[in-house]
Amino acid sequence: MDPLTIVASAGLLLSLYAFYVEGKASKGPAVCDISSKVRCSKVLSSPYSKTFGVKNPVWGVVFYIFVLVLVHAQQALYVRYLAWLAVAGSLYLAWVMHTKVKYYCLVCGAIYLANILLLYFSYS
């Protein structure tokens, strides 16, 4: 299987899990809440967890589905452009997580890694 398909599928699954955690945040701790500073539910329920009024995991689901469609259509150049945007967005969100929210999210970090890998494999 193509590495872009694997990475985009992993990003899609991680985004779906982030959406689940975000919806469950008010009902108790999530599996990824593993310490006082590593709390996915805190990050995903923060005021910074939306972009243009839409939850960030929803953007992730749409993004990775679109990337999978582009990979299937053999449009690697467009995947590369989108991967650059995703990496830039990941850097911004990682900065926000560290400086504004002051909690860390393992799922978010895994999504950021997926975006970096997407960019890497888009050059293969």
Which helix (DSSP H) or strand (DSSP E) does residue 109 occupy?
Answer: helix 106-122
The domain of 46 spans 3-122
Find out whether 70 and 122 touch, Cβ atoms under 8 Å. Answer: no
pLDDT given for residue 118 in this prediction: 97
Tens of pLDDT, residue by residue over 42-62, are 999 899 999 999 999 999 999
pLDDT at residue number 1: 85
Q: pTM above the 0.75 mark?
A: yes
Distance, CA of 7 to CA of 79 (rounded, Å): 12
What residues are paired with 55 via a beta bridge?
50
Split into its structural domains, the chain has a count of 1
Q: Calculate the average pLDDT of the chain.
A: 94
User: Tell me, what CATH number does 97's domain have?
Assistant: 1.20.1440.130
pLDDT of residue 24: 76
Nearest to 42 by CA among 90, 88, 107: 107
pLDDT tens figures, 7-31? 999 999 999 999 998 887 667 778 8
